[in-house]
Amino acid sequence: MGGWTMAVDEHLANRVRSALSDRGIEWEEKRMFGSLIFMVGGSIALGVRGGGGLLVRCDPDESASLLREAGPMYAEVATMGAKDMGPSWLDVSPDAVDDDEGLECWVAAALRR
């Protein structure tokens, strides 16, 4: 694929910025994994994916319940290439964060880690 990268959903990125700012959270942004990554306290918390949706880093002990509550159409264990990234990394579909309540749920899960 060379230097081609998928555009990040800037509207969703702005919504994540607002959600963090509203909580008084300081963060850094970096581009990696095909995403715009939001780092909190020096660790990856969230990423706005190319094409929409979120990469959410959560507590691995909470992962199974988050996946069960969201359902397979809305969240799954994230993969990088053909390898799964482990239980603390979740790919959340754009539909799951389409409204403020959904986004709030996933931002809160990332910040509980």
Q: Which two tokens stand for residue 112?
A: 């509980």
The span from the CA of 94 to the CA of 51, in Å, is 8
Nearest alpha-carbon partner for 102 in 71, 60, 77: 71
Give, to the nearest 10 degrees, the angle between helix 100-112 and helix 60-70: 160
Answer whether residue 15 is part of any domain: yes
Question: What's the predicted TM-score (pTM) here?
Answer: 0.89
Predicted confidence at residue 80, as pLDDT, reads: 82
For the domain that residue 74 is a member of, what is the CATH number?
Answer: 3.90.1150.30
Question: Comparing C-alpha atoms, which of 104, 20, 109, 19 is closest to residue 59?
Answer: 109
Q: Quote the tokens at residue 104.
A: 């709030």
Q: Would 2 be classed as within a structural domain?
A: no
Return the pLDDT at 19.
97
Please list the pLDDT of the chain residue by residue as tens digits (113 residues): 334 446 889 999 999 999 999 999 999 999 987 789 999 999 999 999 888 899 999 999 999 999 999 998 899 999 888 898 999 999 999 999 999 999 999 999 999 98
Note whether residue 3 is domain-resident. Answer: no
Residue 5 in domain: no
